[in-house]
Amino acid sequence: MTTTAKDLIRDTVTANDVVLYMKGTKAMPQCGFSSRVAGVLNFMGVSYVDVNVLADADIRQGIKDFSDWPTIPQLYVKGEFVGGCDIITEMTLSGELDQLFDAKGIAYDKAAAEQIRAANA
């Protein structure tokens, strides 16, 4: 039996608490939107798995089908699709991302989250 992109994606998002499907890697993002979301997660000290969709065309298309969301990056927390760049940015600034991490038991730096909000106020 062959493993499909959808199977790989499902396995990845269920096996890891936080997963970011992005263009490039958390160390070397290759698009502005991916860079912004990775930057928020990195700054907040969130431990996450990054999946470079540019490295695999099947995954790149598969993640769009999996979430029924047309754009990348895509953030998953505890197996649930949270959103792309605009949604994550809004959630970070409103404090909703903190609430989600708190509710799901994801460790992050609350002071860093406050710094992001203060810098964008």
Contact between 55 and 23 under an 8 Å Cβ cutoff? The reply is no
Contacts (Cβ under 8 Å, ≥6 apart) of 94:
none
Running DSSP on this structure, what letter comes out for residue 25? Answer: -
What mean pLDDT value characterizes the chain?
Answer: 96
Residue 57 pLDDT > 80, yes or no? yes
DSSP H or E segment with residue 106: none
- The pTM of this model reads 0.95
Domain span including residue 41: 5-119
More confident residue, 2 or 65: 65
Distances in whole angstroms, Cα of residue 5 to Cα of each of 53, 57, 63: 11, 9, 8
- Amino acid 3: pLDDT: 83
pLDDT tens sequence across 86-118: 999 999 999 999 999 999 999 999 999 999 999
Number of structural domains (the chain) is 1
Distances in whole angstroms, Cα of residue 14 to Cα of each of 7, 10, 20, 32, 49: 11, 6, 13, 27, 12
Residue 7 pLDDT > 90, yes or no? yes
Which CATH number does the domain housing residue 113 bear?
3.40.30.10
- Amino acid 59: pLDDT: 96
Band of residue 66 on the pLDDT scale cut at 50, 70, 90: very high
